[in-house]
Every structure is written in C-alpha cells, then in structure tokens.
Structure 1
Amino acid sequence: MRIAVEELDVTLSGRTVVSGVHLVAEDGEIAGLIGPNGSGKSTVLRTVYRYLRPHAGRVLIGDTDIRSLTAAETARRVAALPQERGSDFELSVRAVVAMGRTPYKRAFAGEDRADVDIVATALARVGMAGAGARRFSTLSGGERQRVLLARALAQDPKVLVLDEPTNHLDVRHQVELLALLREQRRTTLLSLHDLNAAASLCDRLHVLHEGAVVASGTPREVLTPELLAEVFGVRAAVVEHPLTGDPLIAFDHRGVADAGAGSDAAVVPQARPFP
C-alpha cells in the first residue's frame, strides 16, 4: 500500500520542526529518511504513525487520510517501531509480541490458532523463537529491539514505520534485519543513520536537513560527495560495493568537509567513483 506525506508542517512548543515535507513510499517500496541529528526524521515518522498531530499537511495511506481512521483501523494498516523502546514490560516475550494482534481482536477475546501461529512465526523471523517464555525486562537492548520488531510483524500491517531499527543490534543481526525487510517487500518507511545500510536497503531515499526535504531519489542519485559534504559536513567518496554493486560511501575520517572549498573538497581522488 502506498504511503504519502504531503506538505507536512509540525510545530512543537511553538517552534516549527518540519516544514513543507513531501515524500512517498510506493506500494512494496522501502523508502529511507536520512539526515543529521535534529533534521526532523523522527518527527515525520511520529506523524505518520499518529503519535504527533501535524500543524498542516496530511499523511495518506493509499487514498485515505490517516487522520480519518480510527485507532484500530490505523493499527491494522500501520505498525511502528519507534526509538522509544519499552524497557519495563513485566511481560513475557511472547505476550509482548502477541500485543500486535490486538487491533484484530474484540474486547476480551482470547487468542485463536491463527494468532498463535502468527506470533510464533514473527518470533522465528527475528531469531527469537526460543525466547517466548523470557521476561521482556531481562533482555538486552538488541534482543528487545528484535522482539518489538516481531510485535510489529505480528500486527500484519500494510505499512511498516521504523525509526532507527538497527540501533542496539550487532553486525550479524543488523544484516539479518535488513535482509528480512528486503525479503518482505512490504511498504516500509524508515530512518537510518547508517548511510551504507540505507544505500543497500532502500529503493528510495529522502534527505532531510533543518526540517525540510532537500533531496529525493534512488541511492545512486542522492548519495553524492557533494550532498554528503553539504548536508552531513563530511568528506567522502561514493564507490561501488565489491560484493553487491550498491553505492558504498568511503568516509575520510581525518577531517570534516570544508563547506567553503567547493564540491572538490568532498572527493577522495584515489577512490573509483560510482558509475
């Protein structure tokens, strides 16, 4: 299902945090939001999953304004993995994941066979199949992250909204998570700090800077040395990944970009540019 953010303005405590944001994830597409800290990525995502109410603009799920839906209708369409992780659940892992089935249940209705199977499948997909009886509060940060992703998958949404989903995950589980998202081909809108992960995973990138979208397109179109210097303030070359052929960003860790030196300051001459 297509998701579109149209001319979004969000004001918090009297301050405009995002302004005129327009972005889209087409049906089955993975769209990434990238940008420096404070650029508005989380604010946009919180508006998409209705944690925040926009000052202006709207969010469309298909052709429907998300604000016209009930909470339960929204939850059957959109599942979110926010940055704010629950850490004090005195519930079992399985019970936390089973919460994802709530939008489909009548009040006081118990689980049926389908619910049991869906929860088990979700736990298996995130590598937590044997952890159902453990207390959520005893898990590591990475384990909690995977359990909350399993809860979102158990919700069986049309759209996934993920805010920094690779936080707290070790390298193996980061790779597995990205592979899982790619395999699903479920419409996904997510923010990522890891630009190489974004280049590998996303069909489309939207770059936010100071509350506005400054670039949109495929990773090859968006991730240029010039943009990396201007938006992120880093010197980098964009080369071809030797294993996957995706854009690979090689950062110069010896110093930041000189914004006044022109676009050549962002290029590392020895690197083979991405075709």
Structure 2
Amino acid sequence: MRIAIEDLDVALSGRTIVSGVRLVAEDGEIAGLVGPNGSGKSTVLRTVYRYLRPHAGRVLVGGTDIRSLTAPEAARRVAALPQERGSDFELSVRAVVAMGRTPYKRAFAGDDPADRDIVAAALAGVGLAGAEKRRFSALSGGERQRVLLARALAQDPEVLVLDEPTNHLDVLHQVELLALLREQRRTTLLSLHDLNAAASLCDRLHVLHEGHVVASGPPRDVLTPELLADVFGVRAAIIDHPLTGDPLIAFDHRSPAAVPAPAPPRPAEAVTAER
C-alpha cells in the first residue's frame, strides 16, 4: 500500500518543526528518513501513525487521508514502533504482543486460535520463540524492542512505521531485524541514524534537514560526499560494500567537514629553496 505525504507542516508550541514536506513510499517499498538530530524525522512519522495532527498538508495511505479513518481502521492499515518505548508493562511477553490483535476484535473479545498462531509467528520472527511467559518489564532493552516489533507485526498492517528500530539492539539482532524487514516486503517508512544500514536496507531515502526534505531517491544517488558534508557535517567517501555491493559510507573520523582539513606537508625541496 502506497504512502504519500503532501505539503506537511507541523508546529509544536508555536514553533515550526517541519514545513512543506513531500515524500512517498511506494507499495512494498522500504523508504528511509535520514537526517541530523532535530531535523524532523520523528515528527513526520508521528503524523503517519496519527500521534500528531499536522497544521497543514495530509498523509495518504492507499489514497485515503489517514485522519479520515476510524481508529480501528487506521490501526489495521498502519502499525508503529515509536521511539517512546513502554518499559513498565507488568504483562507477559505474549500479552504485549497480543495487543496487536486489538483492531480486529470486538470489545472484551478473547484470543482465538488464529490470534494465538499469529502471536507465536510474530515472536518467532523476531527471535523470541518460547519467551511468551516472560515478564515484559524484566527484559533487556533490546528484547523489549523486539517484543514491540512483534506486536506491530501481529497487527498484520499494510504499512509499518518504525522510528529508530535498531536502537538498543546488538549487532547480530540489528542484522537480523534488517533482514526481517527486507523479507517482509511490506510498505515500510522508517527513520535510521545508521546511514550504512539505511543504504543497505532502503529502496528510497528522504533526507531531512531543518524540517525540510532536501534530497530524495535511491540511496546511491542521494548519499553523496557533498550531501554528507552539507547536511551531516562530515567528510566521507562512498565505496561499494565488499560483501553485498551496497553503497558503503567510509567516514573520515580524523577531519570532519566542519573543520578544514590541514594543508598537506610541503615537499622538502620547496622549503629548502625558500631559505
């Protein structure tokens, strides 16, 4: 299902956070939002899962304005993994994931065998098969992250919205999560700080800077040394990943773009000639 954000403006406490944002994620596409801290990535995502109401513009999901849907209708179309993670659920892992089935139920209806199968499959998909009876509040940060992703998957949405989904995950689980999202081929809009993960995972990137989209397109076209210097303030070269062939950003950790590189040493002959 296609997502289209049209001319989005969001203001909070009288301050404009994003302005004139236009971006898309085509049906089955993984589209990434990247940009420095404070660029508006989370704000854009919050309008998609209806946590924030835009001041102007609209979010279309499958051609329908997301604000025109009832809460259950919207929840059947869009599932979210926000940055604000619940940490005090005194519930079992299974009960947390089963919350994802709520949009399909009447009030106070219990789980049926199909629900239980969906919950089990979602937990297996994030590597937590057999963890159903553990308490959510007793889990590590990375485990909680995977449980909340399982809850979003159990919602069986047409669109996934993920805000920094690799936070708190170790390297193995980051790699597994990215592989899972790739295999899903579900329309996905997500924000990532890890530009190399974004370049590997995403079909399309939208770069936000100071509340505006400044570049959009395939990662190889968008992530240029010039853009990385202008938007992120870093010096970098783009090379091919030796294992996957994806674009790989090699950062210069010694001389960021915001600090002029030192002049190269002058040849000894030139110094001698001036004496």
- Which residue identity lines up with residue 201 of structure 1 in the other structure? L
Matched residue of 2:59: which SS? strand
Task: Tell me the residue number matched to 1:99.
Answer: 99
Task: Tell me the residue number matched to 1:41.
Answer: 41
- Which residue identity lines up with residue 56 of structure 2 in the other structure? A
The alpha carbon displacement at 1:260 in A equals: 8.0
1:87-126 equivalences under 5 Å are: 87-126=87-126
1:135-214 equivalences under 5 Å are: 135-214=135-214
Give the total of aligned pairs.
261
Q: 1:39-68 CA distances to partner (integer Å, 9 max, x unpaired)?
A: 000000001100000000000001100000
The alpha carbon displacement at 1:219 in A equals: 0.3
The alpha carbon displacement at 1:255 in A equals: 2.3
CA contact (8 A) 1:229 1:259 kept: no
Distance in 2 between residues matched to 1:259 and 1:66, nearest whole Å: 44
Matched residue of 2:85: which SS? coil
Percent of aligned pairs with the same residue?
87
- Which residue identity lines up with residue 143 of structure 2 in the other structure? E
Q: 1:238-260 CA distances to partner (integer Å, 9 max, x unpaired)?
A: 00000000000000001210488
- Which residue identity lines up with residue 12 of structure 1 in the other structure? L
Q: 1:215-245 CA distances to partner (integer Å, 9 max, x unpaired)?
A: 0000010000000000000000000000000
Q: 1:164-197 CA distances to partner (integer Å, 9 max, x unpaired)?
A: 0000000000000000000010000000000000
Task: Tell me the residue number matched to 2:264.
Answer: none
| TM-score, scaled relative to structure 1 | 0.94
Task: Tell me the residue number matched to 1:223.
Answer: 223
- Which residue identity lines up with residue 251 of structure 1 in the other structure? F
Matched residue of 1:109: which SS? coil
| TM-score, scaled relative to structure 2 | 0.94
- Which residue identity lines up with residue 11 of structure 1 in the other structure? A
Greater C-alpha Rg: 2
* RMSD (Å) for aligned C-alpha atoms: 1.0
Distance in 2 between residues matched to 1:206 and 1:155, nearest whole Å: 26
Distance in 2 between residues matched to 1:105 and 1:258, nearest whole Å: 54
Distance in 2 between residues matched to 1:255 and 1:51, nearest whole Å: 40
Matched residue of 2:206: which SS? strand
Distance in 2 between residues matched to 1:5 and 1:119, nearest whole Å: 31
The alpha carbon displacement at 1:21 in A equals: 0.2
Matched residue of 2:255: which SS? strand
CA contact (8 A) 1:230 1:259 kept: no
Q: 1:132-189 CA distances to partner (integer Å, 9 max, x unpaired)?
A: 1000000000000000000000000000000000000000000000000000100000
Structure 1 residue 235 and structure 2 residue 235: aligned? yes
Distance in 2 between residues matched to 1:151 and 1:102, nearest whole Å: 10
Matched residue of 2:215: which SS? strand
The runs of at least 4 aligned residues of structure 1 exceeding 2 Å deviation read 258-261
Distance in 1 between residues matched to 2:258 and 2:72, nearest whole Å: 50
Distance in 2 between residues matched to 1:115 and 1:168, nearest whole Å: 28
